[in-house]
Amino acid sequence: MSDAQQHYVFALVKDFTHMAFACAVDPLRIANLISGKPLYRWSYASLDGATASSSDGTKIEVQYAFKELPACDRLFVLSGIGMQSKDHTVLLQALRRIDRLSKTRIGALCSGSWVLALGGFLNGREASIHWEYHDSFMEQFPEVKLLRNVFVADGKYPTASGGTATADLMLHLIAKDHGQDLSVAVADQMVYNAVREATAAQRVSLQSRNGMRNPHLAAAIARMASAIETPVSPTTIAKDIGISTRQLERLFGKYLNASPKKYYRDMRLEKARHLLVQTEMSVMDVAIACGFESAAHFSRVYRTAFGCTPMMQRRHLG
Domains and their CATH numbers in the chain: 6-189 (3.40.50.880), 206-317 (1.10.10.60)
The DSSP symbol for 70 reads P
Q: What is the pLDDT of residues 36-57, one digit of tens each?
A: 999 999 999 999 999 999 999 9
Strands 40-46 and 6-12: parallel
Q: What is the pLDDT of residues 62-95, one digit of tens each?
A: 999 999 999 999 999 999 998 988 999 999 999 9
- pLDDT of the residue at 299: 92
Q: What is the DSSP string of 99-150?
A: HHHS--EEEEEETHHHHHHHTTTTTTSEE---GGGHHHHHHH-TTSEE--BS
Give backbone dihedrals phi and psi of 233, rounded to 5 degrees, phi first: -75, 155
pLDDT for residue 318 is more than 50: no
Question: Is residue 316 very low, low, confident or very high in pLDDT (cuts 50, 70, 90)?
Answer: low
Over residues 177-203, the mean pLDDT reads: 78
End-to-end CA distance of the chain: 51
- pLDDT of the residue at 31: 96
Q: What is the pLDDT of residues 143-187, one digit of tens each?
A: 999 988 889 997 899 999 988 899 999 999 999 999 989 998 998
What lies within 8 Å, CB to CB, of 270 at 6+ separation is: none
- pLDDT of the residue at 218: 86
pTM tops 0.75, yes or no: no
Question: Is residue 256 very low, low, confident or very high in pLDDT (cuts 50, 70, 90)?
Answer: confident
Residue 37 CB coordination number (10 Å) = 12
* Half-sphere CA count of 275, side-chain side, radius 13 A: 25
Using the CB atoms, write b or e for 195-224: b if 16+ within 10 Å.
Answer: bbebeeebeeebeeeeeeeeeebbbbbebb
How far is the C-alpha of 180 from the C-alpha of 124, rounded, in Å?
30
Tell me which amino acid residue 305 is. Answer: A
Using the CB atoms, write b or e for 6-19: b if 16+ within 10 Å.
Answer: bebbbbbbbbbbbb
- pLDDT of the residue at 211: 44
